[in-house]
Amino acid sequence: MNGSGQVLSAEGLTVTARLDAVSLELQRGQITAICGPNGAGKSTLLETLAGLITPDSGKVMLDGEDLAQFHPRDRARRLGYLPQTPEIAWDVPVRSLIELGRMPHGDRLAAPVDAAIAALDLGAFAERRALSLSGGETARVLLARVLAGTPEWILADEPLAALDLAHQHALLRHLRCAAEAGAGPGAGVVLVLHDLALAMNHADRVVVLDGGSVAADGAPEEALAAEVIARVWDVAVEWIGEPGRRALVTR
């Protein structure tokens, strides 16, 4: 991973009608899931952390520096962002599209591109035209473009939603490897997830938003405790199964 930024923090982020004084500090080497009901502010928080939304008040800090002061190219090298509904503008070969992830670095290095293609199981699609892909295949290609940039931080909004079960778990394994890579801290992985079981079983930390504010923040067992889910989602539930293999059932 590039650079030395180990902490991405939000300090009193307020975006009118969407975020209300949200503060948190994220660490590299972890998978953090952002969860919450529809309209809770999850996507807005992720976009603001990526530097794509300027908050009305508060700021985002990367390794102690105000993200708003970063040159766009430097920010793009360090933060890889995948929106909830990404689009492909040009009908180029899949490999060429993934190589665009190297643009902030000014190169087309084969090794990170090949690694991203392998991680998302895209070898058979590398020479196909991008607009010929299915929805799930497109989602994998666009995430591979992010991974090819080897960012310090991977910020992805619902990256698992269009994937089948096998590719969901393959991607989660790859993100875990990215978070744990090397002798120092690996990438910081921040995912917006609606599937609370995936967050419970695969995240190191869960931030629950409700009405634009942080309703819970901590280890998955704490942040997604049944009483928190009842309060935030207004649904009575219980967790069954052993740690790492928990399932959520309604009561």
Query: In which order are the strands placed within the sheet that holds 205-210?
Result: 79-82, 153-157, 188-192, 31-35, 205-210, 213-218
Residue with structure tokens 């744990």?
Answer: 180
218 within a domain of the structure (yes/no): yes
Residues of the chain with pLDDT > 90: what percent? 79
Tell whether 11 is covered by a domain. Answer: yes
CA 114, 118, 119: angle at the middle one, nearest 5?
A: 115
User: What is the span of the domain harbouring residue 119?
Assistant: 7-250
- Coil, strand or helix at 156: strand
Residue type, 121: D
Q: Is residue 193 part of a domain?
A: yes
Region 100-116 average pLDDT:
94
Tokens representing 170?
Answer: 């393959």
Average pLDDT of 12-37?
96
Report, as an integer, the average pLDDT of 147-156. Answer: 94
Residue 116: inside a domain: yes
Quick one: pLDDT at residue 182? 55
Residue 114 clears pLDDT 50, i.e. is over it? yes
Please enumerate in sequence order all residues whose Cβ is within 8 A of that of 229, keeping only pairs 6 or more positions apart, or say none: 196, 235, 237, 248
- Residue 25, domain CATH: 3.40.50.300
1 within a domain of the structure (yes/no): no
The angle, 0 to 180 degrees and rounded to 10, between the axes of the packed helices 135-148 and 110-119 is 140
Answer for the pair 5, 62: CB distance below 8 angstroms, yes or no.
yes
**pTM over the 0.75 mark:** yes
In a domain, 19, yes or no: yes
DSSP 8-class letter at 93: B
The two structure tokens encoding residue 116: 């991203």
Is residue 2 in some structural domain? no
**What is the percent of the chain where pLDDT is above 70?**
96
Per-residue pLDDT tens digits for 66-98: 999 999 999 999 999 999 887 788 899 999 999
Of the candidates 72, 88, 198, 177, the residue with the CA atom closest to the CA atom of residue 138: 88
Burial grade of 251 (CB within 10 A; 0-12, 13-18, 19 or more): exposed
The amino acid at 43:
S
- 189, β-bridge pairs: 31, 154
Instruction: Tell me the sheet residues that pair with 26.
Output: 8
pLDDT digits (tens, 9 = 90+) for 160-189: 988 889 888 888 988 898 898 755 568 999
Q: Is 25 exposed, middle or buried (0-12, 13-18, 19+ CB in 10 A)?
A: exposed
pLDDT on residue 183: 52
Domains of the chain: total = 1
Within a domain: 180? yes
Contacts of residue 43, Cβ cutoff 8 Å, sequence gap at least 6: 83, 84, 157, 192
